[in-house]
Every structure is written in structure tokens, then in C-alpha cells.
Amino acid sequence: MSKQKKKQKVKKPKPRIFSGFRDVFSEDILLRQRMIDTIRRVYEKYGYLPLETPAIEYVDILGKFLPESTTPQGGVFSFRNPDLSEKAQPDDPNTWLALRYDLTAPLARVFAQYVDIQRPFRRYQVGPVWRYEKPGPGRFREFYQFDFDSVGTSSMAADAEICCVICDALAALGFSEGEYMVKVNNRKIMQGVLEVCGLADLEISESSQAMTVLRAIDKMDRLGLPGVIQLLGKGRRDESGDFTEGAHLENEQIAKIEQYLGSRAESRDEVCRGLFELVKDSEVGRKGVAELQEIDSFLSALGYNGKQVEFDPTIVRGLSYYTGPVFEGVLTKEIKDESGQVKQIGSVFGGGRYDDLVKRFTGQEVPATGASIGVDRLLEAMRSTDNSSCRKSTADVLVTVMDKKCMADYFKLAQEIREAGINAELYLGNGNIGKQMKYADKQEIPLAIIIGSDEFEKKEAQVKDLNLGRKLSEEILDREEWREENPAQQSISRSELISKLREMLG
């Protein structure tokens, strides 16, 4: 038996990623960055200011405890506070921490914590949020949100402004009128409808009959009116055989909600008149209609027409804390999916008025309104349309390397271009000029500089317009003539190089 010990085989880790998370590469990051910068300019045009909050909050700040429980509920990535001893009691509010699941709960905490904060407090914030839920197609556990809110104002002008900002942001991203719509409703009107249906004494909680009604209304786009009526009654069985329990309303109650869902008209004013007739016996319902009428007056004064902002009684919004107007920014432009099927993108903005959220901390009602972009959903929408022109590279110019002995000169040339305010990449790999051109093409770099030792001596450079070359190559009939003329490449003196690059980049 050999005395030499056998070397232990080192177990190599397998490259992998946790379900619901993903790696994002330059093309998508650059498109997202361009999109966020465009929207940020719109927010700042209206005077919203940036805010950053931590990725980690105490769980009670997020409000994510199960009823009568001392452990965080599902839906958040939570963990025990490592700064506390293991003997810390589970019901101690400092025991549990979690990754934020949205940007609104941290905003409410900020407003309640800093008593000298400017009021109204108008902020925007962009960043990742995390939700511990089952991932699926287009649904991740880590994703970006981009919020803007006004906290400390009860004026309906703030809610009208939300609609204006959503319209302006989508227009700035390249969507034209008719390709997007901001849909607005009011939770007070829905509360009024519940009252006239005889459901006034039922609390709108997750398990209540009233919430079942609202969930049914929220499915109008997907199921149509017949499906919603089934859910308002005994229930509905889908094509797979699964049964969804209904709200068990009486026929008279269902008829009133059907009338409510049919409150559609050409103008916002007509919608308001129809809704008023339906909820005129409910004080809260009348107040909701009055709020919509006030929003309409502001929008009309600013020229936002019914093709940009419409009042839609089917807009519910999923969160139960909304207390007044609710908004959805919807892309109506049709696209084709990978299988060639025509589909609509749907909602990319969502929000509303939430006057009770800060009350959890202060005990006092603080009016607030705002909206949030699902950044990844909007990014996917832009990627599926003609609005997604974004290069894979940040470089405008590739400085190729023809002679490695001149490497210091190439470094100087690249730096000269950068100091002139033009992004330039020096090719640092191995390979001939053909390989370098393929690299520039794959990275979608617009221009390439080809210069060897002779050109350095003559103080000249060859500049190749790769975008023009790609375009012209689709039109060529005679390849030999193309090689001789080479219209996408020209010789330029070094003294004129920078000005020529600027001209070619536009």
C-alpha cells in the first residue's frame, strides 16, 4: 500500500442562479438606463426630487406580519436581526428585517420619521425590490420600480398631475397618442356602488364579500362581462375545470354592478354624469364623482383629451389601501409575440391616492398620491416595439490596432478622442483587422479608426462608418465595385479627425 496520500478531489461549485433572479447584460442595462433617464427628466420637469431608501427595512415598517403572529408572512425575504442576541424575543419589533417589497412603504416611513420634512413632499425613486413569491414567465423575485409621489396634499390637482406625468413620460419614450391611455377611476365611487348594493356594512378586507366583488370587477378585461357576472354570483368554472367561488350577490345587486360597469361614454364629463345617477344616494359615492369631475376640469384646462386620459369604472387596482382616485397607464399598441400572435402589452403604470398609509406611524391621516412604473414590464414593451433602439456598446469609436509596436500611439489617440468628449474604446484583444471589424459590428459601435505605422507618419487616419457600411451593404450589386469605391471608409488628416468624428456621429 502506497504511503502517498491520494489528493483529495476538489469539488468545484456549479455556476447557477437562484430561481426568480437573473443576470442582466449590457444591451438591456443600457436600454433601461436610457428609459429611466428619459422618465427622470419628465419627473424633474414637474419638480419631483430624488430620494433613496435602504434595501432593508424592519418588517413591521413594511407591515408584513401575519395576523396574531410573531414571524413575517410569506411574500418577503426576511431574516433575524444579526445585531441582536439569539435570546431576543420574536415579538420584539427589532427582531425581524426584510428586503423591501416596494418603494411606497419606505416612503411612508421617511415621511413619518423626519418631522421637519418639506410639505408637500414630492419625490421620485428608482431601484430594485424583492418579493418572495413563485416566479413565472416575465415574473421575477427581483425587479425594478420607478415611483413618483406627492405626500401631504389632498388637492385633486395632485392626482390630475399624476395623469399628466404618465402621459408625458410615455410620450417622451416615443409612444404617440393612440398608443397609450391613462385610465382613471375612484375607490370612493366603488364604495358608493357597494353601498347602493346593500354592502355598506362590510369592511373591504382581503377576505370580505366586498373585496370579492372588487376582484371580480378587476377581471373585466380578461373575462368580459359574462365572466364577471358569474363571479358576482355563485362562482365560475374555467376551461381547466378549476372553480372560483363567487360573491353570492342577489340578482338585483348584480344588476346594479352591471349598470356600473356599463358607465362608459365618449367624454369624461358624460361618464361622471352617469356615475352620479348610479351613486347619488351614497355620500361617499357622490364625493368620488366630484373628485373625478375636479380632475377632469384640470386635465381639460391643460389640453389632455379623452384619447389620452379616460375615466374607466373597471379600474380597481389590487392594493386595498387606495382611498380615492386610482390610475393605470396602459399601452394599447399591438405587438406580435414570438409565435406571431398579435397581443396588447397592457398596464405599465399603476397607482392612486393612499391617504391612510402614513397613519400607521403617526395615527393621523396624511393625504398622499402617486404612481409606479413596472420598469421591467415597460422595458419589455419597448423591446417589443420600435422604441427600443439602443446599442450594445457605450463606445462611439473603436480605435483598431494594426501595429502592436505603435501601442503607445494608439493609447494617445484614444485618449485624445475621449478628451474631446467622444466615447472611444481601444481594441485590446488579439486578431487581424477583419476580426476587429467583426467585434465592432457585434458591439454596434458606429465608427472605427484604422491607422498603421504609415498613417501615423503621414498624420492621417482611415475612418470607417460602420452604420453606413451596414446600410449600403444591403444595396450593393457589384462586390468588386464596392471594394474599389468603399464609400463607407475615408481618409482624414489627423488635424481634422476630431471635427470629422463629431460630424459623422451627428
In a domain, 331, yes or no: yes
Q: Are residues 303 and 426 in the same domain?
A: no
pLDDT digits (tens, 9 = 90+) for 249-266: 888 888 888 888 888 888
Say yes or no: 148 and 288 in one domain: yes
- Does position 217 have pLDDT exceeding 60, yes or no? yes
Residue 495 has pLDDT above 50, yes or no: yes
pLDDT tens digit sequence for 298-329: 999 999 999 999 999 989 886 567 899 999 99
Question: What is the grid cell recorded at 229?
Answer: 357576472
C-alpha distances out from residue 433 to 99, 427, 437, 464, 466, Å: 49, 10, 6, 12, 14
Domain closes at, from 325, 353, 383: 383
Does residue 104 lie within any of the structural domains? yes
Of 383, 416, 448, which residue is a domain's last? 383
368-401 confidence digits (pLDDT tens): 999 999 898 888 888 877 666 667 889 999 999 9
Strand segments, DSSP code E, in 231-321 are 235-237, 243-245, 309-311
Residues 6+ apart with CB under 8 A from 404: none
Q: What is the CATH number of the domain that holds 180?
A: 3.30.930.10
Domain that residue 140 falls in: 26-55+100-197+249-383
Asked if the structure places residue 84 within a domain, the reply is no
Taking 80 as the threshold, does the pLDDT of residue 341 lie above it? no
Return the pLDDT at 145: 94
Start-to-end CA span in the chain (Å): 77
Q: In Å, how far from its chain's centre is CA 374?
A: 3
What is the average per-residue pLDDT within 155-179?
Answer: 95
- Kindly report which listed range (202-211, 277-286, 353-362) carries the lowest average pLDDT score: 202-211
Residues 495 and 365 in one domain: no
Q: Which of 383, 408, 427 is the last residue of a domain?
A: 383
Does residue 391 lie in a domain region? Answer: no
The pairs formed by 298-305 with CB atoms below 8 angstroms and a separation of 24 or more are: 298/156, 298/157, 298/160, 298/161, 299/160, 299/163, 299/164, 299/268, 300/268, 302/160, 302/164, 304/163, 304/164, 304/167
| CATH number of domain containing 408 | 3.40.50.800
Q: Are residues 365 and 142 in contact, defined by beta-carbon separation less than 8 angstroms?
A: no
**Grid-cell match 468628449, residue found:** 421
Angle at 283 between CA 279 and CA 288, to 5 degrees: 65
CA distances (Å), origin 371, targets 43, 159, 260, 396: 11, 10, 25, 36
Reduce the DSSP state of residue 412 to 3 states and report it: helix
Has residue 473 been placed in a domain? yes
81-122 confidence digits (pLDDT tens)? 988 877 667 677 888 899 999 999 999 999 999 989 999 999
Q: Where is average pLDDT lowest: 153-167, 259-273, 328-342?
A: 328-342
Whether residue 291 sits in one domain with residue 185: yes
Say yes or no: 370 and 424 in one domain.
no
Whether the Cβ atoms of residue 390 and residue 407 lie closer than 8 Å to each other: no
Identify whether 478 is part of a domain.
yes
Geometric angle at alpha carbon 261, from 212 and 218, rounded to 5°: 40
On the question of pLDDT at 485 being above 70, the answer is no
CB-count burial class (<10 Å; 0-12, 13-18, 19+) for 356: middle
Whether residue 286 is found in the same domain as residue 412: no
Q: Are residues 300 and 407 in the same domain?
A: no
Quick one: pLDDT at residue 264? 82
Please list, in sequence order, all residues whose beta carbon lies within 8 angstroms of the beta carbon of residue 171, skipping any fewer than 6 positions away.
177, 180
470 pLDDT exceeds 90? Answer: no
pLDDT at 482: 44
356 plus 378 within the same structural domain: yes
Higher pLDDT, 234 or 90: 234
Q: How many residues does the chain have?
A: 506
In a domain, 77, yes or no: no
* Residue 493 burial by Cβ neighbours in a 10 Å radius (0-12, 13-18, 19+): exposed
User: Three cell numbers at 99?
Assistant: 428586503
Helices (H), 76-219: 104-113, 156-172, 187-196, 209-218
Cα-flanking dihedrals φ and ψ of residue 17, to 5°? -140, 145
Q: Are 350 and 425 in the same domain? A: no
pLDDT at 390: 67
Looking at the structure, do residues 289 and 378 belong to the same domain, yes or no? yes
Mean pLDDT of the chain: 87
C-alpha cell of residue 374: 413596472
In this structure, how many other beta carbons lie within 10 angstroms of the beta carbon of residue 85?
Answer: 6
Share of the chain above pLDDT 90, in %: 55
Taking Cα atoms as reference points, which of 264, 337, 327 lies closest to residue 299?
327
Each residue's pLDDT tens digit, 3-52? 555 566 788 999 999 999 999 998 889 999 999 999 999 999 999 999 99
**Helix then strand then coil, % of the chain, to nearest 5:** 40, 20, 40
Q: How many domains does the chain have?
A: 2
Question: 170 in a domain, yes or no?
Answer: yes
Are 406 and 374 in a shared domain? no
pLDDT at 56: 97
- Does 464 lie in the same domain as 320? no
187-196 helix and 283-302 helix, angle to the nearest 10 degrees: 150
Task: Please answer whether residues 308 and 344 qualify as being in contact, where contact means their C-beta atoms are separated by less than 8 angstroms.
Answer: no
